[in-house]
């Protein structure tokens, strides 16, 4: 069956006669804002918020009172900042003193001064304890496991609900998570805290699996990339806002940390009342429910015009090639065993692996040390880290404008090449400055950290979330998206388990591991990733030399010749 008409419609222009080339309309913008703020923002919050309250959650999870603390003044607040007693005890143990009776002298930056009994020399840090670090990382690992499960099971929800109802289901996991953390912190029940992390992780994994395809199916081809990048933008904003709310003068105290973790439920609560206003997926209305009348109503609303014939023809064409009638979503095993979806699946998985193993977590790990070496007092480093979060948001906003001008492939590959160079420079700077503590070298390191964040934010940040929906037919879209996310979370779980050990063993040379990862991903994507900017799915299949799908068969057994 010829697909030339569908491909020929995807030309550049003002979109006045072709609904697939319409720009961003008011209802598309409203729909994307509601979908992302109530899902990916929540996920970003869940990623960042716990790090702001570690001083309180660590003693809490050990059955101790989070408010059994030393009181220290915070540099930018009139309030006092509570420092858990367990931290003071550990510091005391390192100095060989009794944490309950010893008094530590504080320098002007609020840091513990050198113990008078140490002859003016600081004590050597304790050896790296892999088991201890593993235990500390349990809440984050549970969160990632929840996200992993959410990514696997996310497509199943789309089979039993339409896309809009699936988002309602997603809200339930956020509500349950917030309730658990409030009850856990209020009644001193650590197991409820762990359960809250599992539930919020599930919410995030499920959101990443179901929301980007939803946005893809309601967007026109002309602005599909920009709309899809909004998912990552909302996630980065969630991270930034969580960092701000976690400051001591807002929620970063032993009395308020539970609310600081849980208050994000207010966004899905608003979503319950406004989500019903937005259109549903026209692709799903036609392909799954054979409800073309509702699809036309939704398309007219989304495109801001009564002439939506071009979109209808494109959806009908895809539905006919799928099987001539109702489109049934394929399961993950079906996608894995079908040659027809091999290259869309592989490139989506590699993109998600590239994001997880890009080293962005390692860069953020070293950022505090670089800020300290650049001469920033320790008490102000949290604010410097918030500054990096703000730069991440701004760079993602820039990507919204670049993604439809430069295309997806260029925005992924060229910044990754720059990241390889940045890793090499950071390796040299970290190792050379480890013992010298030179402020100028520390400042240069900060500049390269910010350059890395910008490179990540414009390409590897948003594009892996939207790419899978652009190269997959509707029936495989959710499962391929899910497989990519599974790869992402496996990569992140492995890093959360082994990065502390590798960092302890290798120091600054740990960046060289990420050089190898990034270089391998660049080589693969250079040859196997098609450009998807304003392109049809048929274009991607022609790039991979995938035979046209037989409409009389659900799965094509022939092998792709790419």
* pLDDT tens, per residue, the chain with 562 residues: 344 444 334 444 444 578 888 888 999 999 999 999 999 999 999 988 888 888 888 888 888 887 775 544 444 443 333 333 333 333 333 344 444 444 444 444 444 444 444 444 344 445 556 666 666 678 888 998 999 999 999 888 988 888 999 999 999 999 999 999 999 999 999 999 999 999 999 999 999 999 999 999 999 988 888 899 999 999 999 999 998 998 888 998 888 999 999 999 999 999 999 999 999 999 889 988 889 999 999 999 999 999 999 889 888 887 776 655 556 778 889 999 988 899 999 999 999 999 989 888 777 766 766 677 666 777 777 788 788 889 999 999 999 889 988 999 999 999 999 999 998 998 888 788 777 778 788 788 888 888 999 999 999 999 998 899 889 988 888 899 999 999 998 888 888 777 777 877 887 788 899 899 999 999 999 999 999 988 888 889 999 998 876 555 544 443 443 3
Whether 260 maps to a domain, the answer reads: yes
Q: Are residues 173 and 271 in the same domain?
A: yes
Instruction: Determine contact, residues 162/275, Cβ cutoff 8 Å.
Output: no
Which tokens go with 513?
Answer: 């591991």
Whether 309 maps to a domain, the answer reads: yes
Q: What angle do CA 388, 392, 398 make, to 5 degrees?
A: 140
CA distance 439 to 371: 9
CA distance 24 to 511: 40
Residue 209: burial class (beta carbons within 10 Å; 0-12, 13-18, 19+): buried
CA distance 525 to 521: 6
Last residue of a domain, one of 301, 329, 357: 329
Last residue of a domain, one of 281, 306, 329: 329
Q: What is the pLDDT of residue 119?
A: 41
Whether 73 maps to a domain, the answer reads: no
DSSP, collapsed to helix, strand or coil, labels residue 72 as strand
CA distance 562 to 548: 14
Instruction: Determine contact, residues 228/215, Cβ cutoff 8 Å.
Output: yes
Q: Are residues 321 and 268 in the same domain?
A: yes
In the block, tokens 């702001």 appear at 52
Q: Are residues 316 and 194 in the same domain?
A: yes
Q: What is the pLDDT of residue 97?
A: 41
Last residue of a domain, one of 329, 345, 378: 329
Whether 131 maps to a domain, the answer reads: no
Residue 98: burial class (beta carbons within 10 Å; 0-12, 13-18, 19+): exposed
CA distance 83 to 67: 8
Q: Are residues 544 and 448 in the same domain?
A: yes
Whether 70 maps to a domain, the answer reads: no
Instruction: Determine contact, residues 495/356, Cβ cutoff 8 Å.
Output: yes
Q: Are residues 302 and 338 in the same domain?
A: no
Q: Are residues 370 and 287 in the same domain?
A: no
**Helices vs. strands in the chain: H and E counts, helices first:** 25, 2
CA distance 428 to 211: 41
Nearest to residue 451, comparing CAs of 478, 421, 476? 421
Which tokens go with 435?
Answer: 């013992």
CA distance 371 to 378: 8
Whether 1 maps to a domain, the answer reads: no
Distances (CA, A) of 77 to 83, 247, 255, 372, 558: 15, 9, 17, 20, 66
CA distance 198 to 271: 22
Q: Are residues 386 and 522 in the same domain?
A: yes
CA distance 28 to 303: 8
Q: Are residues 351 and 325 in the same domain?
A: no
**188 — alpha (psi -120 to 50), left (phi > 0) or beta?**
left
Nearest to residue 467, comparing CAs of 555, 528, 393? 528
Q: Are residues 235 and 290 in the same domain?
A: yes
Instruction: Determine contact, residues 530/471, Cβ cutoff 8 Å.
Output: yes
Q: Are residues 530 and 424 in the same domain?
A: yes
Q: Are residues 338 and 473 in the same domain?
A: yes
Instruction: Determine contact, residues 479/335, Cβ cutoff 8 Å.
Output: yes
Instruction: Determine contact, residues 482/155, Cβ cutoff 8 Å.
Output: yes
Whether 392 maps to a domain, the answer reads: yes
Angle, nearest 10°, between helix axes 190-218 and 463-471? 50
Nearest to residue 308, comparing CAs of 317, 297, 319? 297
CB atoms within 10 A of CB 324: 9
Q: Are residues 343 and 457 in the same domain?
A: yes
Whether 81 maps to a domain, the answer reads: no
CA distance 284 to 210: 13
Q: What is the pLDDT of residue 421?
A: 94
Nearest to residue 501, comparing CAs of 156, 130, 200? 130
In the block, tokens 């692709």 appear at 283
Total domain count for the chain? 2
> Which CATH number covers residue 523?
1.20.1250.20
486 lies in which domain range? 330-548
């Amino acid at each position: 069956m010829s697909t030339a008409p569908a491909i020929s419609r995807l030309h550049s222009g003002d979109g006045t006669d072709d609904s697939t080339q319409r720009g961003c309309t008011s209802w598309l913008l409203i729909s994307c804002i509601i979908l992302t703020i109530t899902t990916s923002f929540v996920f970003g919050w869940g990623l960042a918020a716990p790090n702001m309250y570690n001083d309180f959650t660590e003693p809490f999870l050990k059955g101790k009172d989070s408010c059994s603390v030393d009181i220290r003044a915070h540099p930018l607040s009139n309030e006092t900042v509570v420092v858990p007693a367990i931290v003071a005890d550990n510091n005391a143990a390192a100095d060989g003193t009794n944490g309950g009776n010893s008094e530590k002298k504080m320098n002007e930056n609020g840091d513990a001064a050198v113990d008078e009994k140490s002859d003016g020399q600081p004590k050597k840090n304790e050896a790296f304890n892999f088991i201890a670090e593993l235990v500390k990382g349990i809440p984050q690992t549970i969160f990632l496991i929840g996200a992993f499960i959410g990514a696997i099971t996310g497509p199943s929800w789309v089979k039993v609900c339409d896309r809009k109802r699936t988002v309602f289901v997603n809200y339930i996991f956020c509500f349950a998570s917030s309730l658990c953390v409030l009850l856990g912190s209020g009644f001193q029940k650590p197991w409820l805290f762990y359960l809250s992390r599992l539930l919020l992780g599930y919410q995030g994994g499920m959101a990443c699996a179901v929301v980007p395809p939803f946005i893809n199916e309601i967007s026109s081809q002309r602005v599909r990339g920009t709309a899809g990048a909004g998912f990552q933008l909302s996630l980065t904003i969630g991270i930034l806002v969580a960092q701000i709310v976690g400051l001591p003068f807002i929620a970063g105290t032993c009395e308020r940390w539970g609310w600081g973790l849980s208050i994000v439920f207010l966004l899905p609560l608003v979503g319950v009342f406004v989500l019903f206003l937005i259109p549903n997926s026209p692709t799903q209305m036609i392909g799954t429910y054979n409800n073309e009348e509702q699809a036309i109503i939704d398309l007219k609303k989304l495109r801001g015009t009564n002439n939506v014939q071009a979109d209808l023809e494109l959806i009908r064409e895809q539905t006919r090639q799928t099987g001539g009638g109702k489109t049934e979503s394929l399961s993950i095993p079906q996608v894995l065993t079908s040659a027809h979806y091999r290259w869309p699946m592989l490139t989506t998985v590699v993109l998600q692996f590239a994001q997880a193993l890009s080293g962005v977590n390692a860069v953020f790990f070293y950022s505090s040390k670089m800020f300290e070496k650049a001469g920033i007092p320790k008490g102000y480093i949290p604010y410097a880290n918030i500054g990096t979060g703000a730069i991440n948001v701004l760079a993602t906003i820039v990507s919204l404008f670049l993604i439809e001008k430069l295309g997806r492939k260029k925005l992924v590959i060229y910044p990754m090449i720059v990241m390889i160079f940045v890793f090499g420079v950071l390796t040299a700077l970290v190792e050379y400055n480890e013992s010298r503590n030179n402020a100028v070298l520390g400042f240069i390191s900060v500049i390269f950290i910010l350059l890395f964040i910008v490179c990540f934010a414009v390409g590897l940040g948003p594009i892996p979330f939207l790419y899978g929906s652009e190269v997959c037919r509707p029936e495989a879209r959710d499962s391929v998206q899910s497989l990519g996310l599974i790869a992402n979370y496996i990569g992140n779980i492995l890093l959360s388990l082994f990065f502390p050990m590798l960092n302890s063993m290798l120091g600054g040379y740990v960046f060289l591991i990420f050089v190898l990862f990034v270089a391998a991903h660049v080589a693969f994507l250079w040859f196997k990733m098609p450009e998807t900017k304003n392109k049809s799915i048929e274009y991607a299949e022609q790039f991979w030399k995938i035979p046209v799908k037989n409409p009389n068969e659900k799965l094509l057994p022939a092998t792709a010749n790419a």
